[in-house]
Amino acid sequence: MLSVETRTGRVAIEARGSGPPLLLLHANPGDHHDYDAVVPALAVRYRTLAVDWPGFGASPPPASPRSASAMWMAAVLEDLVHRLQLEPVILVGSSVGGYAAARLAIEHPERVRALVLVDSGGFTPYNVLKRLFCWFKGSEFVSRRMAGRFAKFYLRRRNPLVEQIIARTYAGQSNLARVAIDAAIWRSFLHPDHDLRQRAAKIMAPTMLIWGREDPVLPVGTDAQAAQRCIPGARLVVLDTGHEPFAEDPETFLAAVEPFLKDALER
């Protein structure tokens, strides 16, 4: 594991393979192991760097876990890319990891070579019910009791890796710092800075959107369509999965992503 100092503290990264740098950014909650099914194939052609966000996996929590936010994760990503000298980098981001990746591509287009946004945050057309749910899930009391059950709800296809993700999520319910970070990130989804729809036209990197048809958290009919409308030239691929296609159906995920990345690097 690599260890990189960022503005929020140390971040652990599993590095494998060689070639153009590719960062894998997990969702909230989760850790770098969420990508275990696709890393071996990606590491054949890329220097594959799977990140543990602060407070998850092998990364220690920040000094103030309740200060976490989606925007804070975007700042951590900026530090990682700069300090590891990865420019330009390929970013694969899931959920809030997708938000962080898209935000870097908006604010520092010269640092991003290609984007794969997987059921990405940042493109939600909010209504009253969605705002209420973010407020509800942003309670530490709620997150401490329902994180595991919520993972079972949004991960729709079962395999050994998915079962491990669910088990790790249940285990995380006893980690008070992790619960605080999880809840704080949910609260941050209501902040105006989390909405990328007006700024996404600045994304210049080749972009693939991969979405689970059965994702109940960020539905393909609203969030994926909004992302495709907002990001110039973005290609949308819909898989028969829930919220994490790379874990639920890794073979089909790779079949879509690998040709896209090959084309992006040849441009």
Tell me the pLDDT tens digit for each residue of 231-258: 999 999 999 999 999 999 999 999 999 9
Return d(Cα 52, Cα 60) in angstroms, integer. Answer: 9
Q: Which of 218, 186, 181, 173 is nearest to 9 (CA)?
A: 181
Per-residue pLDDT, 87: 87
Per-residue pLDDT, 244: 98
Per-residue pLDDT, 199: 97
Q: Which of 127, 108, 137 is nearest to 205 (CA)?
A: 108
Domains annotated for the chain, with CATH where assigned, are: 2-266 (3.40.50.1820)
Bridge-partner residues for 48, per DSSP?
16, 22
**Which parts of the chain fold into alpha helices (H)?**
39-42, 70-83, 96-107, 128-137, 140-154, 160-172, 176-188, 225-230, 245-248, 250-266
Could you tell me the CA-to-CA distances from 32 to 129, 143, 191, 196 in Å, in that order?
31, 21, 26, 25
Quick check: pTM over 0.85? yes
Q: In the Cβ-directed half-sphere of 153, how many Cα atoms lie within 13 Å?
A: 8
Share of the chain above pLDDT 90, in %: 98
Three-state SS at 81: helix
Beta strands 235-239 and 207-212, pairing class: parallel
- Residue 86: is its pLDDT beyond 90? yes
- Residue 29: is its pLDDT beyond 90? yes
Q: What does the pLDDT average to over 122-128? A: 95
Per-residue pLDDT, 133: 95
Tell me the pLDDT tens digit for each residue of 53-68: 999 999 999 999 999 9
Residues near 107 by beta carbon (within 8 Å), at least 6 away in sequence: 78
Q: Which of 42, 109, 50 is nearest to 78 (CA)?
A: 109
Looking at residue 111, what DSSP letter applies?
G
Bridge-partner residues for 237, per DSSP?
210
